[in-house]
Structure formats: C-alpha cells, structure tokens
Amino acid sequence: MKWLHLSDIHFNPSKDGTDSLYLRNRLLDFLKQKQISVDKIFLTGDFRDASCQENTVEAAKDIANYILTLANNVGIDNSNNILLVPGNHDLTRNFDRRQEVVGQNKREYNPGQGIFKDLDILTDSFEFYKKVIAEFRGNDYAENLFNNVYKVNPHSFTVLDEMNILQLNTELIAGETISYDGSSRVLDDGTLSVGTKYVINALSLMEYSKKPVIVLAHRGLDLLNSFERKKLLNIFKDFNVCMYLCGHSHDLWCDESYPIPQVTVGCIKQQDGVRSGFTIGGYDECSNKVVIEAYSWENDRWGEYSHFSSTGYTLTLDISDKVILDEEEFRNKIKIVINGKVQEFVGKVIDMKHSINHGAMISTVEGSLIFKIKNSDFTKYIKFNDKFILSQNVWKVIGVDNTDKYTTIVTCEKELINRSNDDMENEIANKNCIVK
C-alpha cells in the first residue's frame, strides 16, 4: 500500500502569487515525470486561506479540481481513495455560538471523560470543509456526514485491507479569539483537545480487523493540551496506532520523541519562512515496515529533501510491534525436518504463484511461495534448502527473513521432482515407444 501525503495547500489562485502557482503546477509535472503511483492520497487540512478567502462553493470547486488533477497524475481515478481531515482555515470562527461554546469547553473539558458540550455547533462550523467533501463525495454524502455521523463522533475512520486510518479532527475547539489592548488574537496552540472518548469509540470500531492504525490530523501532538496529549498517547498505544501524520506547522520533519513517530509535512504554497514539501509513504505487510520519502521545493524545483531524517530523504520504520497476529489467518501448517526431528509450524500464505513452461520437448511446472510463520522455539533453525509439503507440492526454502520479533518469512520455490531416474517410469516409457 502506497500513499501521497499533502497538507496546507491554502489554494487561492486569484490572490496567490506567481511563485505559489508555479510551485503547484510543477508539482503536477514532477509527480507525472517520476511516474509516482499510489493507492491513497492523505490530505491533512487547510484547503483555503481564511485570511483572504471567502467560504464559497467556487473556492471549494477550485481546490477539488486541483486535487483531482493531482490524483489522476498518481494513478487515482476514484475520489473514495482521497482521505482528508479539516484544518483551522476550514472552519468559520464566528459561526453561531462557536466562540462561546469553545470557551466553555476549554474551561470545563475533562480528559478523563473526553466529551464536548454542544458538539453539533463545533462540527457544523466547518462549513468550508463540508463544501470540499461535497465536491469529492457528493452533497448527499456530506449532508449525512455532518447531520448524522459527526453528531455522534467528530472523528471518522477508514478500514483498509492493509491498515486502518483514523481521521482525527484536531480543530474542534480551535479558533478562540480574545481581545487584548485594542487588538484581537487567536488562542490555540497548547490549549486544544480532541475528545478522548470519541477517539476510543472510533478506534474500537476498527479493532476487529487487527490492523495497525495510521492517524491523519491537521495539528501535531505537541500543540495539544498536555493532559490531552498524554491521555491520547496511552490510547494510541493500546489500539496499535503506528504513525501520526499531520501538517499545520508549514515545515517538514519526523519527530520520533513520542512513542509513535509523527511525520509533519510542509505546505503547498510559496511563502517566506515556510518549507513546501510532501511525502510518499508505503507499507509492506510482508515485512511490517513503513518507508517514507520526503520531497521539498527548493531553487524553483521539486527534489528529494535530504535533511528529512538521519539517513537522508528516506525514513524506514519497523512497526512489527503494532501488528496483532490473527489466529484465524495463521491456520496453514507445514512440517520441516529440523536437526533430525519433524517440527510443525503454523502460518499463512502471503503469495503463491504457479506457472507451466511449455518447452520444445517437455513442459515443466514452476512456482514461488512466500509464507509467514508464527515464531516458535524452532523457527530460528529454518535454513536454506529446507523442504516441506504444502498444497500437494514440495517446496524448497531459498530465503529466510527472521528480523521480525513475532514472525518469520520464508521465500520458497517449487521443488521439481526428477523422474529421469525412476526405473519403473522409464520401463513404461520404453515399452510405449515406436521405433521406425
């Protein structure tokens, strides 16, 4: 599974400068020229620039058209494969009684209970985000999401074959405006909460799948209330969250100081003091590793961001400890002779291929197999050329990966049985030959 992660596009072509327009057009070209292909696009908020852009359907259409063009360039033609969360620029701060409700929740919210008062007002104020969703999924979908789903839980989720995605709204009580000495300012950073009970409810509904979880959010964990952050990290640990992807800070880095890595991407807008960037991530279910590549805009060109991690523009994360073994999946059994004794192993087939090559004189059957075994006291002794029977075929081990704590992956090829030395078969063949 591969994904493209973008954030903070702040799309406003009528007022954006030439540099931003050029950067975005070159991004379309760059993705196409690199022949980058992904399964999902993750968008972590701030689709418009609220400081100079109205909350209009036209603005939502503009950003949706750009994203859909970008999606087409990376092989995505179904908008269901575009997963998004709102940013602070995607809400209306003076919506109804929002300022009053935000202030009350900040004063009275208890992380131990994890719920907000007047949740409907908090969610309904994301007017622009609702318009963006409508452009991707249709008005009926957006209406149901806001009128029904968000009234129960403001955080949505997506269950995939390889991983689960929690779409976390970090902006529920953002945008509190205070007046001081004749001027106004927004009081957000370090004072925000997300509603821990809603988070637990969403994660619980995905738990049955036993898949690792990626969190998509606009704001980083460091910008949440310290008590909320501590509670949230404990919840993430219990529900096998393996990664936190966000934006907001207009910079590009990976923070591994938390129990789970937090990857922050830059914006897709040219502005002094910000880093424009994006990442491409991939999860290999076989090895339980995530690989993330970072790209940034420098000197009027897109390229690899060599300072993303200590190893350059690529970061590799082992998430083996976040993978729960499903006993129902690990039900295949194989027997291998280990040190003179037959040992039975349980596991599951990751990939199996059969092929028949028709030659001029004879046809041969070939095959390849990747088998994931649940670790036991004997898996460490499996070695090259060991043989076993599975699906009525003899397989020979040609590769062993035992770097994972819980499983071992064996790569095998089908053992071709040599019949040329079978005297009985040769005798039958000779009797049926016609000599001219």
Return mean pLDDT, the chain.
89
Q: Which tokens belong to 172?
A: 């529920």
In whole angstroms, give the CA distance from residue 49 to residue 222.
Answer: 23
Q: How does DSSP classify residue 417?
A: P
In whole angstroms, give the CA distance from residue 90 to residue 75.
Answer: 27
Coil, strand or helix at 110 = coil
Of 70-84, 179-193, 212-226, the range with the lowest mean pLDDT is: 179-193
436 inside domain: no
pLDDT for the residue numbered 187: 75
Q: What is the pLDDT of residues 196-211, one digit of tens each?
A: 999 999 999 999 888 9
Asked whether the beta carbons of 52 and 15 are under 8 A apart, the reply is yes
pLDDT at 148 over 70: yes
Of 168-182, 279-293, 319-333, 397-411, the range with the lowest mean pLDDT is: 319-333
In whole angstroms, give the CA distance from residue 66 to residue 82.
Answer: 13
pLDDT for the residue numbered 428: 39
**Which segments of 194-341 does DSSP mark as H helices, in order?**
196-206, 226-238
Verify that 76 and 225 share a domain, yes or no. Answer: yes
Q: Tokens 């993705």 belong to which residue?
A: 31
**Model-wide pTM > 0.85:** no
Of 150-164, 219-233, 347-361, the range with the lowest mean pLDDT is: 347-361
Verify that 343 and 279 share a domain, yes or no. Answer: no
In whole angstroms, give the CA distance from residue 285 to residue 212.
Answer: 10
The pLDDT-based confidence of 353 (bands split at 50, 70, 90) is confident
Q: Which tokens belong to 361?
A: 């004189």
Verify that 198 and 295 share a domain, yes or no. Answer: yes
For residues 133-139, average pLDDT: 97
pLDDT for the residue numbered 183: 77
pLDDT for the residue numbered 435: 37
In whole angstroms, give the CA distance from residue 78 to residue 81.
Answer: 6
* Among candidate residues 301, 322, 343, the one where a domain is terminated: 322
- Closest CA relative to residue 297, chosen from 276, 316, 266, 283: 276
The pLDDT-based confidence of 24 (bands split at 50, 70, 90) is very high
Of 29-33, 357-361, 393-397, the range with the lowest mean pLDDT is: 357-361
Verify that 214 and 258 share a domain, yes or no. Answer: yes
Q: What is the DSSP string of 125-167?
A: T-HHHHHHHHHHH-HHHHHHIIIIIHHH-S-EEEE-SS-EEEE
Asked whether the beta carbons of 174 and 183 are under 8 A apart, the reply is no
29 inside domain: yes
* Among candidate residues 297, 322, 347, the one where a domain is terminated: 322
Verify that 180 and 139 share a domain, yes or no. Answer: yes
Verify that 80 and 212 share a domain, yes or no. Answer: yes
- Please state the separation of Cα 186 from the chain's center in Å: 31
Q: How does DSSP classify residue 325?
A: P
Verify that 289 and 396 share a domain, yes or no. Answer: no
Asked whether the beta carbons of 271 and 15 are under 8 A apart, the reply is no
Neighbouring C-alpha atoms within 13 Å toward the C-beta of 196 = 20
In whole angstroms, give the CA distance from residue 67 to residue 39.
Answer: 15
State the residue range of the domain holding 371.
332-414
User: CATH no. for residue 191?
Assistant: 3.60.21.10
Angle between helices 57-73 and 127-137 (to 10 degrees): 50
Report the relative pairing of strands 289-298 and 301-304 from DSSP bridges. Answer: antiparallel
366 inside domain: yes
Verify that 307 and 353 share a domain, yes or no. Answer: no
Of 52-61, 247-256, 371-380, 385-394, the range with the lowest mean pLDDT is: 385-394
In whole angstroms, give the CA distance from residue 86 to residue 430.
Answer: 77
Verify that 317 and 396 share a domain, yes or no. Answer: no
425 inside domain: no
Q: What is the pLDDT of residues 244-290, one digit of tens each?
A: 999 999 999 999 999 999 999 999 999 888 999 999 999 998 888 99
Verify that 400 and 262 share a domain, yes or no. Answer: no
pLDDT for the residue numbered 25: 96
For residues 387-401, average pLDDT: 86
43 inside domain: yes
Of 94-108, 123-137, 340-354, 417-431, the range with the lowest mean pLDDT is: 417-431
Verify that 389 and 256 share a domain, yes or no. Answer: no
Asked whether the beta carbons of 161 and 193 are under 8 A apart, the reply is no
In whole angstroms, give the CA distance from residue 352 to residue 370.
Answer: 6
pLDDT for the residue numbered 419: 44
Which range among 39-43, 92-96, 402-406 has the greatest average pLDDT? Answer: 39-43
Question: 185 versus 317: which is more confidently predicted?
Answer: 317
pLDDT at 431 over 70: no
Question: 21 versus 111: which is more confidently predicted?
Answer: 21
312 inside domain: yes
Q: What are phi and psi of 248, to 5 degrees?
A: 75, -45
Verify that 230 and 336 share a domain, yes or no. Answer: no
Across-strand partners of 198?
none
432 inside domain: no
The pLDDT-based confidence of 417 (bands split at 50, 70, 90) is low
The pLDDT-based confidence of 424 (bands split at 50, 70, 90) is very low
- Secondary structure element (H or E) that encloses residue 426, with its range: helix 423-431
* Among candidate residues 289, 322, 355, the one where a domain is terminated: 322
For residues 325-353, average pLDDT: 83
Buried-exposed string 173-183: b where 16+ CB fall within 10 A, e elsewhere: bbbbeeeeeee
Largest CA distance in the chain: 112
308 inside domain: yes
Q: Tokens 């709102």 belong to which residue?
A: 86
What Cα–Cα distance (Å) separates residue 270 from each residue in 9, 99, 140, 273, 406? 10, 31, 35, 9, 45
Percentage of residues of the chain with pLDDT beyond 90: 67
pLDDT at 434 over 50: no
Residue 423's Cβ-count burial label (10 Å; 0-12, 13-18, 19+) is: exposed
Structural domain tally of the chain? 2
Asked whether the beta carbons of 292 and 281 are under 8 A apart, the reply is yes
